Every structure is written in structure tokens, then in C-alpha cells.
Amino acid sequence: MQKLFGNTKNEVNNPESAQNEDEHYLSTLDTVTILQRAKNKTKSKNYNGALFNINFVLNLEPENIDAFIQRSDVKRKLKDDIGAKEDLDHAGHLIKKLDRGLKAYEKGIEKLNSLDYKSAIKYFTDAISANIDTYGAYYYRGLSKRYFGDYRGAIPDYNKAIELNPNYTEAYYDRGKIKYHKLDDSNGALIDFNRAIELNPSDADIYVSRAILKSSIDDDEGAMNDYNKAIQLKPTEAQTYFSRAMLKFKPEDFHGAIQDLDKAIELKIPDDASVSMFDAYSLRGNLKYIMKDYEGSIRDFDIALEYEPNDGKTYFERGEARLSLGQNDLAAEDKFMAIKLGYDEE
């Protein structure tokens, strides 16, 4: 680029001392560095060079508060009192706007934590509009949209959060969950889960999510590896043992499945999980029936019915186990109860 002012030979060879630095060179630097170079030029009374750098930053970031404050100082030194005041006033306006944005961001977090997702979305939008252009603002707005049910609207926010912070594990993981569970995009979800695990290989939950996905696309070996890794990382998660038991059921590893269900029952599946203690006892009862452990099967069905006393299918299955032991009268009672509760064997 043609220099606007003459340079000495030393200035041409030293970008720091050049009155107006080459735009291509400046484009390789971050704005904080460029402003620091402008400050150095101001100290050495190279005001035109300082203005060149500051204006370069403002072309990239029109609301950079530090740039306006620095330019105000340079204009004051150049006796441009009107221009200096205008820049300082504009910096003050931006600071007030930033303050409003920070308050909106804090309010958004408060609303998100109180499960008021609609209000949270509004406040995070206000924060972003007020120049709180951080990956956190976009991530939390995306998270709020996800919980509010706006799954497609959440994706662009996660995309922006990842653009601003390419190492943001949670954004990849949450985006992957939406792609898999809500948008039927298994390939996209797998890519996101892979990246999340690459960034945080010690998060058991991500392995579980990837295992569920892999199982759904018939990669049972890959799913088993992920369940194994998740259990290695978090050996006290009952639901993971249940999920692995379900996977072991497919190749008829009934003994291994029962062992996993034993562990899930020992650890106790929490009430807020996607499966329940009823599911664990019911499944184990069925597996024991398949392995001809009819007494063990009946004991599990007994406990399952304590959790769900109106489950007709479980009465029917217990009746089958009792029939296998020759307990015909008890089997008939169970079959009758199953019919009474609306269970219809197909």
C-alpha cells in the first residue's frame, strides 16, 4: 500500500516506527495489539500514525470503546477539541450500552436458572444487541431456546458460540443432542459428539450420548466401547449400566445383561432418569425367565409390581413364570389381572 507520509529508511524497515503501518501487516495482528502500537506512537508523538492504527481498529470493530478513548486523547493532543469531545462522548455512550448489556446478561442467567426460558431468551437477546458479543451470551440463549422447545432456533446460537470459541465443549455437546434427538441428523450429531469428546475426553455423559447414537445406527461395537468408557469414568451412574444391559440383550449376552441390571438396581436409578427401577426389575425378571430362573423371575416381577401396581404386562409375565413352575392357580390369577388392567397379549 502507498504510504501517505514519507518514511525514513529505518521507519520502512520497522513497522513499529512507521507513521502509517501497512494494512496487510495490521490485519495479521489482533486489535488489542494494534491499539497498543497506537499508544506507543502517541507517546512518541507520532499522532498521524496512531490515528491510522486506531481508525483501522474502528473499521473492524465500530464499537470498540478503547479505540474511541484513545482517539479522543490523540485528537486532544492535536488541538481538535471538538473531535476529542465527540469521541469521548461516544465512548461514554458505549460504556452505558455495555453496562445495560451486562445487566441484561445477568438477568438472562437469573431467568434461565429459574426456568423462565422465554424471558431468558429476551434478556440474552438484549445483551447481544448491547454488544455483549461473547460466546457465553450465544450459548446461553441457545440453551434457553432448547429448553423452550425452539430447537431450530437454538442451532444458529450454538454455531455462533462455537465460531467465537472453537473449543467450547458444551456447545458441541448440546448442538449434537439437538441434532440427534430433535432434528434427525445422526451424522451431524456424531461429528459434534466426536469433537466434544476430543475436547473433553473425561466427560462420561458425552460417551453415553454417543453410545446411544451408535446403537441406533447399528454400530453396537462402538456403542459398547462408549458405554464401557463411560462406566470407567463414572462407575456410580446406574442408568449407564441399564443402557449397557439393553445393548447386551441384543447379542443374547443374558448373563452379562443381568450383571449390569444387578449393578443398576444396587446403585438405584434416580427418579428423574429416563428409565426407572420398575424398568430394571421388569427387564431382569424377563431375562431370568429366558434363562429358566423362574423363581428369580417371579421375585423381580413382585418388586416391579410394587413400583407399578397397575402394569398389566408385568402381571402377565409373572403369570407365565408361575405357569412354568406349575403354579396354575396363581398363574390364572395373574392372567386375569392382566386382562382386567387392559393388557392384551398379541
Name every residue whose Cβ is closer than 8 Å to that of residue 75 and which is 6 or more positions away in sequence: 81, 83, 84, 87
Domain that holds residue 40: 9-79
In a domain, 72, yes or no: yes
| pLDDT for the residue 20 | 60
- Residue 286 pLDDT > 50: yes
In a domain, 41, yes or no: yes
Burial of 279 per CB tally in 10 Å (0-12, 13-18, 19+): buried
Alpha helices in 78-203 (DSSP H): 81-113, 117-129, 135-148, 151-164, 169-181, 186-199
In a domain, 13, yes or no: yes
Higher pLDDT among residues 8 and 331, named by residue: 331
Higher pLDDT among residues 101 and 257, named by residue: 257
pLDDT per position as a tens digit, 38-54: 899 989 899 999 999 99
pLDDT band at 96 (very low <50, low <70, confident <90, very high): confident
C-beta separation of 180 from 192 below 8 A? no
In a domain, 32, yes or no: yes
Q: Count the helices and strands in the chain (H runs, E runs).
A: 19, 0
In a domain, 40, yes or no: yes
In a domain, 70, yes or no: yes
Ramachandran angles phi, psi of 312, nearest 5°: -60, -35
Cα Rg, the chain, nearest whole Å: 32
Domain total of the chain? 1
- Residue 201 pLDDT > 70: yes
- Residue 9 pLDDT > 70: no
Higher pLDDT among residues 81 and 20, named by residue: 81
| pLDDT for the residue 14 | 42
In a domain, 104, yes or no: no
In a domain, 242, yes or no: no
